[in-house]
Amino acid sequence: MGLSVAAEQAKEALTKASMQRLQDFISDLESNNCHLTVEDLKQEPIIHASCLVSENIAATRNREKRRYFAFLFMEFKMRGEFSDTSMDVFEEDLRILADMSEREMRLLIVIERFFKFLEEVNALPDRTERLRAKFEELCLEIPADPEEFKGLAERLTRTGFVVFSQGLANTGFLVAYRPTQNYYKFKERLGLKS
């Protein structure tokens, strides 16, 4: 008897958490002037996208990541092009985002920022010292020990958002990955600025 009460309480807690997360999703949409109308909910692509996003949001603990799901949905809905190709891109983005941890999201941004910094200091005589200091500073934001950075970045290549750069590797520096055009397009679809 006690087990069924505990199971029922767990079910209620999960339902409550899922409902709160979905309410946050709707609030994110509304705060960005993206309202779901009765007409929207008659369109199969919007219904399908809403269901996919809702499933991912309900299963995601991190609030910032849930916002990314909302931004991805908003961009899809506001663009208003519901072709098979645009739906495929949306689903691919959604799967990649669902698969990434919050730390990996931060790592992507760190790699982008480091790559920009590298371009800025490339011709300076004290380049190596500046790069090392910047790298250590950015590792604190991930957070990651500088020694585990390479492994984290290597795993991130599965997204297609970073690639190993032999030119960067030849510098003898730990960061030998650079963002790809796929990353910049994904970032744009999330509504994030570079």
Q: Say what angle helices 63-79 and 2-31 make with each other, to 10 degrees.
A: 50
Query: Residue 194 has what pLDDT?
Result: 58
Query: Residue 92 has what pLDDT?
Result: 93
Query: Residue 124 has what pLDDT?
Result: 74
**Could you tell me where the DSSP H helices lie in the chain?**
2-31, 44-58, 63-79, 84-99, 102-121, 127-141, 149-156, 166-169, 181-189
Cα 147 off chain centre by: 23
Query: Residue 161 has what pLDDT?
Result: 93
Rounded CA separation 43/50 (Å): 11
Per-residue pLDDT of the chain (194 residues; tens, 9 = 90+): 456 887 788 888 888 888 888 888 888 888 988 888 888 888 888 889 989 999 999 888 888 899 999 999 998 888 887 788 888 999 999 999 999 988 888 888 888 888 888 778 777 777 777 777 887 787 787 777 777 777 888 888 999 999 887 665 555 455 678 899 999 999 988 877 65
Query: Residue 73 has what pLDDT?
Result: 92
Domain ranges of the chain: 2-99, 102-189
Query: Residue 186 has what pLDDT?
Result: 92
Query: Residue 185 has what pLDDT?
Result: 92
pTM for the whole thing? 0.78
Give the chain's largest Cα–Cα span. 74
Q: Quick count: other Cβ atoms within 10 Å of Cβ 105? A: 18
Query: Residue 168 has what pLDDT?
Result: 59
